[in-house]
Structure 1
């Protein structure tokens, strides 16, 4: 990590191009939108104005209660059950991300959770794609460029993995760039439906798997080896397979500290499997104690393929700018660190190699080089 660059202001950080690979569509709604959509369908909310509702979501996520945390999604999913609602939420997500400087995003969501009012799985995908395209067009009209893909997700506790995997593959020309499984990690491993990973591999279809958040390294190992995941959603608990010197990365004498990697940690680093790390969310769920002590900094020091993400912008009251600013303030990150994780994310995007190169060469590098002090 370099230290010679001047301190970064929030405004400077906001101006930087960003890439977010782990951002949940149903975790990023605007509070005002939830109020309007809830009124349309007669859904009862825990607060009656946007400010109070936003505070309720954040406080519930911060409560330390898994029950309260999961309850937040009961409300967002309840208002995302029609074509218009799905399209609106997707459109607004794209605009919010673009206005935060995001130039490439992948929005993950579970179509099976949006069928309560009669939509088919295909209709949900079409609605979200329509909203994404509207958002991209409106962002362009504002002078902002953003590309957004869908990550179609199957819920781990349900038994629709094969059906959802086939839905994702069928829509690879309709904006879907990858497949994920999410939900209760512990007790619902990839081996629950091992056959779908062979199907997805046969289809040459990209996979990311939530692992190493609520469960430990064994969950990551199964995601990598059985699930053949190209990326790991979160993966923060890979640090449990690493033994750190108490003074890592530097001792009080300034000498390099040490870290002994286990076999799985070596595998993940050797193969540069990207980790979709989400500091604020990980602190809320107890996967990390604080942003200052979040493993993202140590993992980056050890040359793991680290990416920075928001997870659930509504519940964490966060943005990519906020996540970057927190690491600058509390973990000593510099503009070079921000550029590094941004380019790692771009090179890990579920698009073709030439598209990644164009994203890096034409958008990200010029954006960072415009900011004085970037050493790229």
Structure 2
């Protein structure tokens, strides 16, 4: 694209990279550098499906392009395999922050499942400590200010969610902002982990739930009305509860109306959703209609390695598909910052002192 639609100048990718961005849905084990995977795999003796960083990067992207969430999730076997030592976790977390800074991110919540990183003898507590050490090292070395928090994820097909929820509460004043569950939705409803969510609510703790990605409205309904999710991870299938008539008029079902009325944030990941078959293309992604209807939409990367993406790429793709301008990108960014699992005064400071002033300059040209 040439940066223009008619007489309206649109943000370019170079400009977008410099704009402050907020990411709420970004998996630590989905954002490794291919070179790091190759080097760590050599150290731990793990066999990779491709030789060399360039070929490995292609393999991840091609495998993730299958249109199946289950196949998409299989790629994580190789990233998780090289994240089983303290040194490996520290390195991955530090580089994760470095890549976020290069992408213009000013606030990030980084999620991963501690239970997947204990195969070589680390305790759950040691896993969280190693990741925190790496994140803090990345923040300390950053050329521009960035705030990064952990989200501890439990796997929905396993039975350790209470243990991980307790771990999140234990670490919440030491870098952990909240809790999440992830994994294949079909056959593993969030209500299987109801005791963990009830515990988190009693502890006044924040949590998000992967829901409405590969499975439909029942998953979203359970996540909100049974489990009490603060945010929805993806939530793209809420579109199934919205009717658009031939004349363009829109009618929201009860669940969609509730989600919009109560401002429940949707952690939308456009490129990832196309890869897993939740959307057919960026241009046809429900984010367009949901944004028009003013749901609490946020833009995220999900897994930067598998989708070969960045926050800059995601926003640039939306600009190209929908003609969004700086006001729209600011709206997505403020939405995300409002929805962060960070104390209100800290959220407000980032919005008023960092995000809005930067976008004001960009809008002014």
- Give 3-state SS (helix, strand or coil) of 2:75's partner: helix
* Residue in 2 that maps onto 1:323: 314
* Residue in 2 that maps onto 1:253: none
Deviations 1:212-267 (A, max 9, x none): 001111111111111111100000000000001346xxxxxxxxx31100000000
- Give 3-state SS (helix, strand or coil) of 1:152's partner: strand
1:327-366 residue pairs with structure 2 within 5 A? 327-366=318-357
Distance 1:187 1:68, change over 3 A: closer
* Residue in 1 that maps onto 2:283: 292
* Residue in 2 that maps onto 1:111: 114
* Residue in 1 that maps onto 2:80: 77
Tell whether 2:41 aligns with 1:50: no
- Give 3-state SS (helix, strand or coil) of 1:205's partner: coil
Tell whether 2:362 aligns with 1:371: yes
Deviations 1:181-210 (A, max 9, x none): 000111111211322221110100001000
Query: Retained in 1: the 8 A contact 2:68–2:275?
Result: no
Query: Retained in 1: the 8 A contact 2:28–2:111?
Result: yes
Tell whether 2:17 aligns with 1:26: no
> CA shift at 1:67, angstroms?
5.2
Stretch deviating more after TM superposition (268-277 or 218-227): 218-227
Query: Retained in 2: the 8 A contact 1:6–1:373?
Result: no
Query: Following the alignment from structure 1 to structure 2, what is the Cα–Cα distance between the partners of residues 241 and 197?
Result: 25
- Give 3-state SS (helix, strand or coil) of 2:111's partner: strand
- Give 3-state SS (helix, strand or coil) of 1:91's partner: helix
Distance 1:132 1:118, change over 3 A: same
With structure 1 as the length reference, what TM-score do the two structures score?
Answer: 0.94
- How many residues matched? 361
* Residue in 1 that maps onto 2:89: 86
Stretch deviating more after TM superposition (284-293 or 331-340): 331-340
1:235-246 residue pairs with structure 2 within 5 A? 235-246=235-246
Query: Following the alignment from structure 1 to structure 2, what is the Cα–Cα distance between the partners of residues 189 and 372?
Result: 43
1:189-268 residue pairs with structure 2 within 5 A? 189-246=189-246, 257-268=248-259
Query: Retained in 1: the 8 A contact 2:152–2:178?
Result: yes
Counterpart selection for 1:137 from 135, 140, 148: 140
Query: Retained in 2: the 8 A contact 1:87–1:132?
Result: yes
Query: Following the alignment from structure 2 to structure 1, what is the Cα–Cα distance between the partners of residues 278 and 69?
Result: 13
Deviations 1:165-196 (A, max 9, x none): 00010000110000000001111112113222
Query: Retained in 2: the 8 A contact 1:309–1:323?
Result: yes
- Tell me how large the CA RMSD over aligned residues is: 1.4
Distance 1:66 1:195, change over 3 A: closer
Stretch deviating more after TM superposition (291-300 or 365-374): 365-374
Distance 1:59 1:212, change over 3 A: same
* Residue in 2 that maps onto 1:303: 294
Tell whether 2:104 aligns with 1:101: yes
Query: Retained in 2: the 8 A contact 1:90–1:128?
Result: yes
Structure 2: gaps of 5 or more residues:
none
* Residue in 2 that maps onto 1:282: 273
Deviations 1:3-48 (A, max 9, x none): 9751221111101000000000000000000000000001001111
